[in-house]
Amino acid sequence: MNKKSHEIPKLPPGPKPWPIIGLLPEILTNKPVFRWIHKVMEEMNTEIACFRIGNVHIIPITCPEIACDFLRKHDAAFASRPLSMATEIATDGYLTTALTPFGEQ
């Protein structure tokens, strides 16, 4: 077996998170959050970073070229809306166009 096939891709650099809760205390104390994130990225001198909140990773990008490349490669993941029981009930089985999931219907 190829060793590289089991490697987990590395995440971009970011501030060191707390165990379990991640950067939640910093986010709650630094408002507005988007300005705090941008300031941290400027201090780190990076155009892409990783902020962990609990078990969720937030990856902000300030470089338009990196953002366009990322969205071009992963457009299908962002083209759909999340599926939930509430949206299924509200749209009567996704019969409306506003909340219809991406793909063949």
Reported pTM: 0.63
53 φ, ψ (degrees, to nearest 5): -125, 105
Three-point CA angle 19, 25, 30, nearest 5°: 145
Convert the pLDDT of each residue in 51-61 to its tens digit.
Answer: 998 888 889 99
Work out the percent of the chain whose per-residue pLDDT is above 90: 30
Instruction: Check residue 53 and report its DSSP letter.
Output: E
* d(C-alpha 85, C-alpha 30), whole Å: 34
Residue 12 and residue 49 in contact, taking contact as beta carbons nearer than 8 Å: yes
User: Domain boundaries in the chain?
Assistant: 13-90
Residue 22 and residue 53 in contact, taking contact as beta carbons nearer than 8 Å = yes
